[in-house]
Structure 1
Amino acid sequence: MYVKTTARKTKSGTVRYLHLAHNEWDPVAGRSVPKILYGFGRADQLDRVAVKRLVGSLARLLDPADALAATAGSELVFCESRPLGGTFVLDALWRRLGIDTVLRGLDAKPRRGRPRDTAATERVLFGLVANRALAASSKLAAADWINHDVHIDGLPQTSDDACYRAMDWLHDVREQLEIGVFRQVANLLNLEVDLLFFDTTSTYFELDDPDEPVTRDEHGHPVPDQDGKEGKEGNVGFRTYGKSKDSRDDLPQIVIGMAVTREGIPVRVWCWPGNTADSKLIRQVKDDMRDWTLSKIVWVADRGFSSEANRRYLRQGEHAYIIGEKLRSDSVEIKAALSRQGRYTEIAENMRIKEVKVSESERFVICHNPDAAGRDAHIRAQLIAQLEELIADSDRLPVMKRGELRGRISTKPGLNRYLRVTPGGLLRVDKAKIKTEANLDGKYLLRCSDPHLPAADIARGYKQLLEVERGWRDMKQIIDLRPVYHRLEERIRAHVVLCWLALLLIRVVETTTGDTWHHVRRHLDRLHAGTFTGPTGVFRQRTELSKPQRDLLARLDIPAPKQIIELATASR
């Protein structure tokens, strides 16, 4: 059975007609002759909807595989299906933010004698960034993921060596990339950069010994062709021991800093050797951001950056700061601020503030959270009950045993805070300390150098520092910042830049859609690209869009991917 075409000449020209026919044997003629079963009418007036219904009705008589073979050709083979949605959306945002343009326009000097194709390198770097956001893995696994597990436009396959060469080049152009991406993102997203939040974290390495010390400049970068001597100030290996924020003091680490806008968009990252103190970092950060020709910036940082030297440095120029202060400090200013009488002003359901001015250049804002105060009181009551139980019969103990008990309690800061030792060596609960601590329940203290910023904005601005903490959490849990398996310092730094770019794209998706990346990614991963091969070539077709997928693309203002993603004819 087949479709037969006949032609008839008319005054206006030749008209073609379509018929459904099959061949029958004619014993008289001794050959097969066509027999018309159904006439479709003129070819130029064909009712294609009716034909589609007819084909669908006939296809229901067959199993799906036979129906596909019958309608698309007997040699058509379905080869594979790869997730498309996640990489498609990330790539669209990557291009919208102009990151591809920035990368392709950077200085492309060859490294170690290798020629550099910036267009191809840009695609490899996007593949590595997409891997961090969708299925974080090592560079070796990332190359396999790109080749076999996902569809990326313009990157059908890559190699391990290509990934490492791209990372080496990324390290060389990192500073140009950071400022280029910031300008693109700030303009396109209309970011407010009057408040920049800065915080640090650490990430560890699973190795036995730290790196050999090298000579470093004031910003922690190695000085080329110079070997450092251990013990000399500034000479240290990149991966070295320090105070870990991951509770892994037994492993070498590096320190990573990040600046984030009030919308939660990360604008820059930094890396330092693992033993670098927080108090030294923000000065370099301020110097680096000074070259970005920004307007006045109010730096927001936590208590680790509150030293007098840091505050004096941040006040230089047109910049100001909001910095958290330690409540339990011996500072005269802090004690004066906490003891000042005055009424609290409620600015939110769970926040009250009181402003105190103790000098001409700085203001203090005391913030009080009633809910947090209740939690603090409950925790303190539990600690005191535990302490009372431990020292209940301590008066009867020998002096030696009582000293041992005192030593054990001293290793527990929460209990030791409320312990008092009498002149006779007896252990008691310190009631005066309990009263002092009760006055601090639910409070935190902020110091600000901006004389015009309203107190309520100071409190709200510091509270937004949680965006940085959320960024670190996502960096470690989603993008898999730790542990790092790279050995060379330049590739470790490039790895951190890849994580920053992945977090940037994720934050743009979240702020635009109002949904979490975990939820968005789950819907996008269900959009696949299927690959079919046949005698005439290969074509890739996407699956139909679901309603959640259409809604996500609409909120992101991204056009839906084409139905036929790729069509390649077979070579002859």
Structure 2
Amino acid sequence: MGFLRKKKVKKYSYYYYVQKERINGKPVDAVHIYLGTADEILNKINKRDENKSNITLKTFEYGRIAALLSVDEELGFRNIVDDVVTKRNQPGLSVGDYTLVSIFGRWCGPLSKTASAKHFSESFIGFGNKFPSKVNAQNIISQMKYFDEQTISEIELELSKKLKEKGIIPDMIVWDTTNNYTFIDCGEKIPQKGKSKQGRHNKNLIGMGLAVSGENIPIFHKSIPGDTHDAPLFNEIVDDIIDRIKQIDVDPEGLVLVFDKGNNSEKNIEKLSGRINVLGSLKKNQIKDLFKIPFSEYKPLYTTDKGVEISGFSTKWNIYSKEYTIVMSFNPNTRKRQALTYEKAKKKIIKDLDGIRRSLVRTGRGRPMTSNGAIKKAVESIPTQYEAIFKYDVVESDNHKEFKYWIDEKKEKTFLENTGKLAIFTDKYDWSDDKIVITYNRKVFIEDDFHWLKDKLLIPLTPIWHRKDEHIRAHVFMCVMGLFFIRYISHKLGDLGITDEQIFNELSKIRVGLVAHDDLKEPQIVVEDMTPIQARIFSKLDLGRYLEHNNF
């Protein structure tokens, strides 16, 4: 930042514009411009004002909405929605139009339906009348009733077909689930209390399952009750995933389905056998002997982009009534992270258990905690992965209750020794050890998707204020479509070497201005100065096309 410097020579004062920089640790004048005396500066300002035309300027959000329109145009998104949705033709915006506005609201959100309509109308596209009608906030909510499970599935299917036409053909499918807490007190079947992945066990949860392709583009999702367990759901969803692959004319037997150990069961793995290749992880208690093998048996597999050496070994092992290739991998960075996470969690668990102990023996006003209440609180206080380490009980004798807890030191030692290790099983027998581990670790893509849907600065799924299941399904669908759009854009910009978050953030900074002044017969549209990466995104997506043939 610059400043004015006054230099006095005899009785006269002279002014300079100065900017400082540090060179070799010392501040020096990087910019030093003579401006003149006070009277000379005033004369220059007055002369400039005399020659200046009247100028008006209004700036608009442009990058994100133009990017959405570019994807819509390439894939025919609005047309797909309108073709699938059964609705009487009527004047004004279609269901597809309102769906695009809702997606825009999540991209800029979290925005309510009313705020989405307002924000869209004030964007360049809305202001320039490039939509057939004005956006009505109430109509956004009204459109949600059209998105039942069958309709959502058909829209996702048609989008998958469009991707295949563009040459984006899945070579693998990654499946995972998550849940989000809500402030819905009484809803229908979907909002339920369960094991919150955000630790909000006292809130109703909205569950969601998501399947993405190897390019990390969503191809299938399902809204599920918050108390749904992974394994039973996986058994139901397998047929839907395989049917989706067949419907886009891809042979599922040539693909790999990647999933985590929460989906494992004899019944589930048997259901997949011979229909699609599997790539999953195993629990420690399923192959205890392999976890005991010393690190001297591990060999280097590959080095990550961050310079971390991943080691491991492979063997054949009978599990789920079949012989699979098992790769035991070790990541030293994961070990450090898991150990630190455990120590942090341990402090919180002990603090919570101490609080339960005090509450159980507390006397005075208020209803005392019951033994069952203490057990329930303890269950909620201990994350699933640490349940074997922390033990507790309520001892009652002579009208006296005492809550006791302790740490199983043997289990704790075993847990810490196994941090950083991962057991992966597959029926891709011809794959190398490093390919198996690298492919399984691509599961981080879907974890990144869940991060996007939980981050209020990206494409937030929450807050969810809807109570009806049909509205919740529609809301989740809009958010997943927002994710679909950014992943497709990322695929197109793959050669730029930037992350999805960088793309999203750079798009949000691209704005246009509407300039009018006395020398112009008509207003002019001017793109604000862009950084080199913004300019490359603008060019690659051809965002300038929406600045042509404006209606100002």
1:203·1:484 contact (CA, 8 Å) conserved in 2? Answer: no
**Which structure's relative contact order is higher, taking Cα pairs within 8 Å and 6+ residues apart?**
2
**Selected match of 2:251 from 278, 285, 295:** 295
- Bigger radius of gyration, 1 or 2? 1
Aligned-pair RMSD on alpha carbons? 3.9
Q: TM-score, normalised by structure 2?
A: 0.70
Mapped to 1, the partners of 2:50 and 2:267 lie a distance apart of 74
**Equivalent residue for 1:485?**
465
**Match of 2:551, SS?**
strand
Distance 1:286 1:61, change over 3 A: farther
How far did residue 83 of structure 1 move? 1.2
**Match of 1:135, SS?**
coil
Identity value in percent: 21
**Equivalent residue for 1:507?**
487
1:353·1:459 contact (CA, 8 Å) conserved in 2? Answer: no
Letter in structure 1 aligned against 2:262: G
Mapped to 1, the partners of 2:50 and 2:466 lie a distance apart of 48
**Match of 1:240, SS?**
coil
1:538·1:567 contact (CA, 8 Å) conserved in 2? Answer: no
- Stretches (4+) displaced over 4 A: 116-119, 339-342, 374-387, 407-416, 427-435, 531-534, 536-540, 562-565
Residues 364-373 or 480-489, more deviating = 364-373
**Selected match of 1:520 from 492, 495, 503:** 503
> Quick check: 1:552 aligned with 2:546?
no
**Equivalent residue for 1:163?**
140
Alignment of 1:347-366 (within 5 A): 347-349=301-303, 350-359=309-318, 360-366=322-328
2:68·2:104 contact (CA, 8 Å) conserved in 1? Answer: yes
- The count of residues paired between Structure 1 and Structure 2 equals 443
How far did residue 354 of structure 1 move? 1.1
Q: TM-score, normalised by structure 1?
A: 0.67
**Equivalent residue for 1:337?**
290
**Selected match of 1:260 from 212, 215, 225:** 212
Distance 1:65 1:124, change over 3 A: farther
How far did residue 209 of structure 1 move? 3.0
Letter in structure 2 aligned against 1:275: D
**Equivalent residue for 1:323?**
280
**Equivalent residue for 1:194?**
171
Letter in structure 2 aligned against 1:206: F
1:346·1:352 contact (CA, 8 Å) conserved in 2? Answer: yes
**Match of 1:184, SS?**
helix
Distance 1:529 1:90, change over 3 A: farther
Alignment of 1:163-312 (within 5 A): 163-171=140-148, 173-191=151-169, 193-211=170-188, 237-292=189-244, 293=246, 294-296=250-252, 297-312=255-270
Mapped to 2, the partners of 1:493 and 1:368 lie a distance apart of 39
2:58·2:514 contact (CA, 8 Å) conserved in 1? Answer: yes
How far did residue 284 of structure 1 move? 2.7
Alignment of 1:87-166 (within 5 A): 87-104=65-82, 106-110=83-87, 115-116=89-90, 120-152=94-126, 153-154=130-131, 157-166=134-143
**Selected match of 2:430 from 452, 475, 489:** 452
**Equivalent residue for 2:354?**
none
How far did residue 322 of structure 1 move? 1.4
> Quick check: 1:494 aligned with 2:474?
yes
Mapped to 1, the partners of 2:406 and 2:112 lie a distance apart of 55
Residues 146-183 of structure 1 deviation map (CA, whole Å, 9 limit, x = unaligned)? 22355343266211232123333344632221100011
Mapped to 2, the partners of 1:527 and 1:115 lie a distance apart of 35
**Match of 2:525, SS?**
strand
Residues 73-95 of structure 1 deviation map (CA, whole Å, 9 limit, x = unaligned)? xxxxx474321122112211221
- Flag structure 2 segments of 5+ consecutive residues without an equivalent: 1-45, 304-308, 350-374, 393-404
**Equivalent residue for 2:16?**
none
Mapped to 2, the partners of 1:322 and 1:485 lie a distance apart of 37
**Equivalent residue for 1:371?**
333
**Equivalent residue for 2:62?**
84
**Match of 1:185, SS?**
helix
2:211·2:219 contact (CA, 8 Å) conserved in 1? Answer: yes
